[in-house]
Amino acid sequence: NAGVTQTPKFQVLKTGQSMTLQCAQDMNHNSMYWYRQDPGMGLRLIYYSASEGTTDKGEVPNGYNVSRLNKREFSLRLESAAPSQTSVYFCASSGLASGDEQFFGPGTRLTVL
């Protein structure tokens, strides 16, 4: 049982480049989330998906798109990366069996030059 996995672990982009962060969970959870974590600002929700086929904006959605590919996978896309998107990105999931507890992935450290 791997829990929540994320790829890549690290990424350096140039301004304007695009990339997709991948997230997968093997806990049969319905809900999945993408957060960014910046120093001194805690975790901020970018997008979430309450169930397969649905996605909703969180606190800071601008500059990002998401796809809930299936129940297991939830990807985050940066179409045109900006230095302000330099951050650590965490994916999380939760399900009925876990109550409301969100389980986090190991994170992706993204630097945009």
Partner 1 sequence: GENVEQHPSTLSVQEGDSAVIKCTYSDSASNYFPWYKQELGKRPQLIIDIRSNVGEKKDQRIAVTLNKTAKHFSLHITETQPEDSAVYFCAASIGNNDMRFGAGTRLTVKP
Going by C-alpha positions, the residue among 15, 3, 57 that lies closest to residue 34 is 57
- Alpha-carbon Rg for the chain, nearest whole angstrom, is 13
Contact residue for partner 1 among 13, 21, 31, 87 (CB under 8 A): 31
Going by C-alpha positions, the residue among 53, 37, 57 that lies closest to residue 104 is 37
CB of 112 to partner 1, least distance (A): 20
Should residue 26 be labelled a site residue for partner 1 when binding is judged by CB under 8 A?
A: no
Task: Give residues in contact with partner 1 (CB under 8 A).
Answer: 31, 33, 40-45, 48, 50, 56, 58-59, 90, 94, 99-102, 104-107
